[in-house]
A and B are shown apart, each in its own frame.
Chain A
Amino acid sequence: MADIPLLELKGITKRFPGVIANDHVDFELVKGEVHALLGENGAGKSTLMNILYGLYHPDEGEVRLDGKRVRIDSPRAAIDLGIGMVHQHFMLIPVMTVAENIVLGVEPHSGPFLNIDAAEKRVRDLSERFGLAVRPEALIESISVGMQQRVEILKALYRGAEILILDEPTAVLTPQEAEELFEIIRSLQAEGKSIVFITHKLGEVLAIADRVTVLRRGKTIETVPREGATEEGLARLMVGREVLLRVDKTPAQPGDPLLTVEDLRVFDERHLEAVRGVSLEVRAGEIVGIAGVDGNGQSELVEAITGLRRPESGRVVAVGEDITNEGARDSLEAGVGHIPEDRQRRGLVLDFTLAENIALKDYCEEPDSKWGWLYPKRLVARAKRLLTEFDVRGGGPQTLAASLSGGNQQKVVVAREVSRDPRILVAAQPTRGLDVGAIEFVHRRLVAERDEGRAILLVSFELDEILSLSDRILVMYEGRVVGEYSPDVSEEELGIAMTGGGREVAA
């Protein structure tokens, strides 16, 4: 590793209305290294890299490349300097082909015509050279997310990128795809490319990075080499305090059964039987975890319980009330709270303010409204109280939900659901895409709600989460509950059950 940095960011400051996203941030990258940029959601990682890529303009500070000061005022300028970026939300056009997406803007042409054969050939050459398997003629909308990401990387390489910025690249990948990505990163490194890897996942940092720069609330905290770094140490730097990576909880004191599901059958939108006769029971004061690989009927089960999908047959009883064929309103009035798995589509109205989002389920009742008249000031007052209690950062009651980071959006959803004082809480993927600090918060809160005597049904694809939170674990496979375990079960045994190899339970 050479000592002269290839890239230096010095004293970068970027202010948005009401927030300082970057506060005199320093960052350096030496040639051929993989440098992780670690921080919680909203710490300013993406802002910093968007500045480097010319999407934002810094209010203060300078960028040096090879020791020379450069001005990057557009993505075009960044591309010309050999900087490429793979955005967290892919910048790909779904209805166009892989090759078309890659060459867009620097198209090979013969005369005035687009030479698509040449484009496909160049893409093929590049993909062979760097070991990134793609099909140049496939439409983006028809390929997997993992392949879409490879297309994004090829897009940058095609433009001659020497520095590659990967913005939370594993957030959308399956574990296998993430492993493939790490292989790709290593081969890029071997080709002499320098890589900035933005993440909030500690395990990834230790797996792939040479050095780590930690950002916290818009400031550079420290740059450390990987050697000697530990998950606990990095978590402390990132959050600014000791973080418990394990959840602390006392044994459950289960009470009366609050949620009963009997022989439930639910169809999905393709009219296939997604839930095939599930029965379960959740008692007051316990967390029941549903483990399983995505797509084994968990989503449909949750939707049926919360009144979002009508079951084909069977019964759902919440706090003694049969809500089998009732709608979402009846379900929540029966005392069911719901943290939906997709907070942006089902949990929040992104174009509404936080105060409005928090009132989404109570707007029609006193004190929010009376005689059909809404009292916005009361919504704001309540929101202000809840935002403080749930430590939501990045905005106040009047901020639009869309402008919050994912972790803070999730806290808003949790705040709304918990504050309604439900007897039953259905939490689907409550920590998806969250950083350690936010995960810790949500986990603690769920345990606290359990101790309050609520019945909690937790659905998660993360085994860690299931194992550390649940008092009882049910495994779902192909629409059925195929096993019940206590939380001291081994990950291995659960994994086998989740893929259909477990013992059958006639529950």
Chain B
Amino acid sequence: MSVAEASQTPLDRLRRLGEARSLAIIGIWLGVLAVWLSVPPFTIRALVVPAAAAVLGASLGLWALTRGERKLGWWAIGVALLAILVALWFQSEESAELESVFSIGLLAATFRFAAPLAFAAMGGIFSERSGVVNIGLEGMMLAGAFFGIVVVAETGQWELGLLGAMAAGAVLALIHAFFSIHLRADQIISGFAINFLALGVTGYLFRSIYGTRGTPELEERIPNVHLPLIEDIPFFGDLFGNLNLMIWLMFAVVLTSFIVLFKTPIGLRIRSVGEHPKAADTVGISVFKVRYAAVILSGVLAALGGAYLSFGTGNAFNENMTAGRGFIALAAVIFGNWRPFGAFGACLLFGFSSALALRLQGSPLLPSDLASANLLSTLPYVLTLVVLVGVIGRSRGPAAAGRPYVKQ
């Protein structure tokens, strides 16, 4: 697929822009832009500006509708209507109140919420692209969170903590790999076993080492990266001038995952093993080796996500602190069509809605009964589901995912 895309001429791309599908997508984005225009830092008070963008988006949607692109067309119209409602609503709110929710902090928080998911999701992509379903991401994250913080607490060095986390994730992944590749166990069951194993082991060790006091205060955590030059740029600098090291690592991992999977021989082999292992075998590729490597890599990446939770953005370990993030990451893999940028987009969307929900809690923007923590905490799940299921629809995964390979 990547090759087909690369070999398109610019003219082909231009022609594609005229298709109904592309029009509808542009319409949807115009609706999103209309919402964005009415919040800080723009906070355009003149209703006409966001309304114009929304109307344009809706008409593109309508045009797409008449040319047969029904689903996306309706979406463009829906988003445009929503944008006008939001714009009307925000007209009447105080600027300061809007700024308390919609600030640069919202974007920074989006990255913070998305990072653990993104690491695990990239891991999931490697594993599934090689044909091994990895439900155990959750447990691998948890193990990374716990064993990472233990090493940091013992040595006082976050670098060693990261290594410790990665080792823990790799060990769990190795167990999953052995069961699902060598013993041909059901990969779902093996993955669940990994999750329970991680939950049990970390919970037991956590209590037996730290008792009721919890993890000790850390001398070191994963540091932020100060970029003096960028820090001074308005807006952009506020966001990127002082990010945690792991956020930068996340960007690097996503980009590298894409390059490895789609631009290198290694990636071609991983994908071939996940699509048609026998075909790979008959050209001399070792299905077992590729799968082991991919699954272990997935454990390492998931554990990095866990480490960020416990001593990157946080500073302590709690029992079951991953709280289902591994599964969200798995969902991001599927929504993202087993592609790094797609999955990253899904993680960002989830991160954004989590951050938004957190900021809307108790905000004067909402009536008090709507601003309750309980209701708002469902927002990320609802929003992610609606957007991803609605817009993206069916995705197609690696053909051999979940099926053990039997060599004759």
On A, residues with C-beta under 8 Å from B are 50, 53, 55-56, 74-76, 79, 85, 87, 91-97, 99-101, 104-107, 109, 112-114, 116, 120, 137, 139, 155, 159
Of the candidates B1, B263, B285, the one whose C-beta lies within 8 Å of that of A95 is: B1
Q: How far is the CA of A156 from the CA of B380 in the complex (A)?
A: 51
Q: Is B268 an interface residue (CB 8 A)?
A: yes
Closest Cβ of chain B to A13, distance in Å, is 16
Contact of B264 with A109 in the complex, beta carbons under 8 Å = yes
Closest Cβ of chain B to A62, distance in Å, is 20
Q: Is B211 an interface residue (CB 8 A)?
A: no
Which of B3-11, B33-41, B182-190, B319-327 lines the interface with chain A? Answer: B3-11
Contact of A99 with B284 in the complex, beta carbons under 8 Å = no
Q: Is B275 an interface residue (CB 8 A)?
A: yes
Q: How large is the interface on B (under 10, 10 to 19, 20 to 34, 35 or more residues)?
A: 20 to 34
Closest Cβ of chain B to A237, distance in Å, is 29
Of the candidates A75, A104, A114, the one whose C-beta lies within 8 Å of that of B263 is: A114
Contact of B285 with A139 in the complex, beta carbons under 8 Å = no
Q: How far is the CA of A92 from the CA of B279 in the complex (A)?
A: 6
Complex interface bits, B1-45 against A, C-beta within 8 A gives 1, otherwise 0: 101101100000000000000000000000000000000000000
Contact of B281 with A75 in the complex, beta carbons under 8 Å = yes
Contact of B285 with A104 in the complex, beta carbons under 8 Å = yes
Do A79 and B276 form a contact, CB below 8 Å, given A109-B264, A137-B3?
no
List the A side residues contacting B396 at CB < 8 Å. Answer: 95
Closest Cβ of chain A to B5, distance in Å, is 10
Which residue of chain B has its CB nearest to the CB of A77? B284
Q: How far is the CA of A85 from the CA of B282 in the complex (A)?
A: 9
Which residue of chain A has its CB nearest to the CB of B260? A112
Contact of A104 with B7 in the complex, beta carbons under 8 Å = no
List the B side residues contacting A137 at CB < 8 Å. Answer: 3-4, 7
Of the candidates A85, A87, A100, A105, the one whose C-beta lies within 8 Å of that of B285 is: A105
List the A side residues contacting B284 at CB < 8 Å. Answer: 74-76, 79, 105
Among B259, B284, B408, the one with the most A-chain Cβ atoms within 10 Å of its Cβ is B284
Closest Cβ of chain B to A402, distance in Å, is 13
Closest Cβ of chain A to B210, distance in Å, is 43
Contact of A91 with B7 in the complex, beta carbons under 8 Å = no
Contacting residues of chain B (248-306) with chain A, CB-CB under 8 angstroms: 259, 263-269, 271-272, 275-276, 278-285
Of the candidates A75, A87, A96, A106, the one whose C-beta lies within 8 Å of that of B272 is: A96
List the B side residues contacting A120 at CB < 8 Å. Answer: 3
Do A91 and B268 form a contact, CB below 8 Å, given A75-B284, A79-B283?
no
Q: How far is the CA of A269 from the CA of B70 in the complex (A)?
A: 21
List the B side residues contacting A109 at CB < 8 Å. Answer: 264-265
Closest Cβ of chain B to A427, distance in Å, is 33
Contact of A87 with B265 in the complex, beta carbons under 8 Å = no
Q: How far is the CA of A112 from the CA of B266 in the complex (A)?
A: 9
Among B267, B283, B399, B408, the one with the most A-chain Cβ atoms within 10 Å of its Cβ is B283
- Count of A-B residue pairs with CB < 8 Å: 82
Of the candidates B7, B267, B268, B276, the one whose C-beta lies within 8 Å of that of A92 is: B276
Contact of B1 with A116 in the complex, beta carbons under 8 Å = no
Q: How far is the CA of A87 from the CA of B282 in the complex (A)?
A: 10
Among A74, A75, A96, A120, the one with the most B-chain Cβ atoms within 10 Å of its Cβ is A96
Which secondary structure dominates chain B's binding surface?
A: helix
List the A side residues contacting B282 at CB < 8 Å. Answer: 53, 55, 75, 85, 87, 91
Contact of A104 with B264 in the complex, beta carbons under 8 Å = no
Contact of B4 with A107 in the complex, beta carbons under 8 Å = no
Which residue of chain B has its CB nearest to the CB of A112? B264
List the B side residues contacting A104 at CB < 8 Å. Answer: 268-269, 272, 279-280, 283, 285
List the B side residues contacting A101 at CB < 8 Å. Answer: 279
Q: How far is the CA of A105 from the CA of B265 in the complex (A)?
A: 8
Q: How far is the CA of A107 from the CA of B271 in the complex (A)?
A: 14
Contact of A97 with B3 in the complex, beta carbons under 8 Å = yes
Contact of B264 with A91 in the complex, beta carbons under 8 Å = no
Closest Cβ of chain B to A139, distance in Å, is 7
Closest Cβ of chain A to B80, distance in Å, is 33
Q: How far is the CA of A104 from the CA of B281 in the complex (A)?
A: 11
Closest Cβ of chain B to A75, distance in Å, is 5
Closest Cβ of chain A to B395, distance in Å, is 13
Contact of B263 with A113 in the complex, beta carbons under 8 Å = yes
Closest Cβ of chain B to A42, distance in Å, is 17
List the A side residues contacting B399 at CB < 8 Å. Answer: 94-95
What 9 additional pairs, Cβ within 8 angstroms, besides A55-B282, A93-B271?
A: A50-B408, A56-B408, A87-B282, A91-B278, A95-B1, A104-B272, A104-B280, A113-B259, A113-B263
Contact of A94 with B275 in the complex, beta carbons under 8 Å = yes
List the A side residues contacting B7 at CB < 8 Å. Answer: 137
Which residue of chain A has its CB nearest to the CB of B2? A116
Q: How far is the CA of A92 from the CA of B283 in the complex (A)?
A: 11
Do A100 and B264 form a contact, CB below 8 Å, given A55-B408, A79-B283, A92-B279?
no
Closest Cβ of chain A to B261, distance in Å, is 11
Complex interface bits, B113-156 against A, C-beta within 8 A gives 1, otherwise 0: 00000000000000000000000000000000000000000000
Closest Cβ of chain B to A10, distance in Å, is 22
Q: How far is the CA of A105 from the CA of B286 in the complex (A)?
A: 10
List the B side residues contacting A100 at CB < 8 Å. Answer: 3, 268
Q: How far is the CA of A56 from the CA of B408 in the complex (A)?
A: 6
Closest Cβ of chain B to A40, distance in Å, is 22
Do A116 and B6 form a contact, CB below 8 Å, given A93-B279, A95-B275, A104-B280?
yes
Those 8 A-B pairs whose CB atoms lie nearest each other, nearest first: A76-B284, A91-B279, A105-B283, A107-B265, A93-B275, A93-B276, A75-B282, A91-B282
List the B side residues contacting A159 at CB < 8 Å. Answer: 283
Contact of B4 with A97 in the complex, beta carbons under 8 Å = yes
List the A side residues contacting B285 at CB < 8 Å. Answer: 104-105
List the B side residues contacting A50 at CB < 8 Å. Answer: 408
Q: How far is the CA of A96 from the CA of B399 in the complex (A)?
A: 12
Q: How far is the CA of A333 from the CA of B259 in the complex (A)?
A: 59
Q: How far is the CA of A475 from the CA of B259 in the complex (A)?
A: 56
Do A107 and B268 form a contact, CB below 8 Å, given A97-B3, A113-B263, A116-B3?
yes
List the B side residues contacting A96 at CB < 8 Å. Answer: 1, 268, 271-272, 275
List the B side residues contacting A87 at CB < 8 Å. Answer: 282
Closest Cβ of chain A to B128, distance in Å, is 14
Contact of B278 with A105 in the complex, beta carbons under 8 Å = no
Listed A/B pairs (17) with beta-carbon separation below 8 Å: A50-B408, A55-B408, A56-B408, A91-B278, A94-B275, A97-B4, A100-B3, A104-B268, A104-B279, A105-B285, A106-B283, A107-B268, A114-B263, A114-B265, A114-B267, A137-B4, A155-B283
List the A side residues contacting B259 at CB < 8 Å. Answer: 113
Contact of B3 with A75 in the complex, beta carbons under 8 Å = no
Closest Cβ of chain A to B288, distance in Å, is 12
Closest Cβ of chain B to A106, distance in Å, is 8
Q: How far is the CA of A87 from the CA of B279 in the complex (A)?
A: 10
List the B side residues contacting A106 at CB < 8 Å. Answer: 283
Q: How far is the CA of A87 from the CA of B267 in the complex (A)?
A: 25
Q: How far is the CA of A500 from the CA of B208 in the complex (A)?
A: 84
Contact of A139 with B4 in the complex, beta carbons under 8 Å = yes
Q: How far is the CA of A86 from the CA of B76 in the complex (A)?
A: 49
Closest Cβ of chain A to B405, distance in Å, is 13
Which residue of chain B has its CB nearest to the CB of A111? B264
Which residue of chain B has its CB nearest to the CB of A105? B283
List the A side residues contacting B4 at CB < 8 Å. Answer: 97, 137, 139
